């Protein structure tokens, strides 16, 4: 059995994630469902997401709609209560150096850092944002993570990057280098990173267990995880977004 919540896992959130899983695990077991004792950390995310033993996981919206949706059970979507976003939605922030006075149009064709090609917030959202304005996007540096993309901009190795707004707030809270950056634009809201389980899982029971566990967390833990609650968005909400071109 596998339970993994990797998408916002960092040293400062690990304890809150463990407590969220402990509460979910207890409720799953009380409902007669098997659940592993602890969250899995590290490892191959694609192997976890596709595993028939996945009790609870979290993925990005782009991998879900591009590859995973026929093979997994959609459990729920986190509600981060982000300004300007409907419940269960998030967006990307476009960041540049703090002393860079350019606005969006002036970044057309400028070298962009991005975490990976299958990232909704790091690639698909900014690509759509620029295309809708008739602007060119030049993905010049693939970094492997939002934090690495932000650091590349702070160090002058790229002109700008798009970062998951939830991740950005965590970076601002815990990474001093972000003082050298500023937000110059924001993309349109999109469905937030979905919780999933293996195909055929009892989605309703798992959703109730996760929601009750989150509600029972201390306010400090919910604040650390930037989660107000969960919502039940249909798969069609994710699938309605277009697939982006490859970088």
Which residues of the chain, if any, have pLDDT below 50? none
pLDDT the model gives residue 102 = 97
pLDDT the model gives residue 132 = 97
Residues 6+ apart with CB under 8 A from 7: 58, 59, 60, 193
DSSP string, 155-200: TTSSSEEEEEHHHHHHHHHH-GGGGGEEEEEEPPPEE-PPEEEETT
Q: Read off the tokens for 2.
A: 């596998």
Tell me, yes or no, whether 75 and 195 share the same domain. Answer: yes
pLDDT the model gives residue 137 = 95
Tell me, yes or no, whether 132 and 184 share the same domain. Answer: yes
pLDDT the model gives residue 172 = 98
What is the spatial distance between Cα 157 and Cα 194, in angstroms, rounded to a whole number? 31
pLDDT in tens, 148-194: 999 999 999 999 999 999 999 999 999 999 999 999 999 999 999 99
Say how many domains are in the chain.
Answer: 2
Tell me, yes or no, whether 106 and 183 share the same domain. Answer: yes
Tell me, yes or no, whether 98 and 129 share the same domain. Answer: yes
pLDDT in tens, 101-118: 999 999 999 999 999 999
Burial of 169 (C-beta count, 10 Å sphere; 0-12/13-18/19+): middle
Q: Give a yes or no: residue 87 inside a domain.
A: no
Tell me, yes or no, whether 21 and 63 share the same domain. Answer: yes
């Amino acid at each position: 059995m596998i339970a993994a919540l990797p998408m916002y896992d960092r040293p400062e959130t690990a304890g809150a994630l463990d407590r969220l899983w402990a509460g979910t695990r207890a409720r799953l077991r009380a409902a007669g469902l098997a659940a592993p004792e602890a969250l899995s950390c590290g490892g191959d995310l694609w192997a976890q997401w596709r595993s028939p033993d996945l009790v609870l996981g979290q993925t990005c919206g782009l991998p879900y709609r591009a590859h995973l949706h026929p093979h997994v059970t959609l459990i729920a979507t986190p509600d981060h209560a982000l300004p300007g976003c409907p419940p269960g939605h998030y967006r990307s922030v476009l960041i540049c150096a703090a002393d860079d006075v350019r606005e969006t149009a002036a970044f057309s064709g400028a070298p962009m850092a991005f975490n990976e090609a299958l990232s909704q917030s790091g690639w698909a959202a900014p690509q759509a944002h620029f295309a809708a304005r008739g602007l060119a996007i030049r993905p010049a540096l693939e970094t492997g993570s939002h934090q690495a993309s932000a650091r590349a901009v702070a160090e002058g190795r790229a002109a700008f990057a798009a970062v998951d707004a939830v991740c950005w707030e965590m970076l601002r809270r815990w990474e001093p280098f972000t003082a050298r950056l500023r937000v110059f634009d924001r993309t349109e809201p999109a469905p937030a990173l979905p919780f999933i389980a293996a195909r055929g899982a009892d989605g309703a029971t798992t959703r109730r267990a996760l929601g009750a566990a989150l509600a029972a967390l201390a306010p400090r833990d919910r604040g650390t995880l930037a989660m107000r609650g969960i919502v039940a968005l249909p798969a069609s909400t994710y699938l309605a977004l277009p697939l982006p071109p490859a970088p």
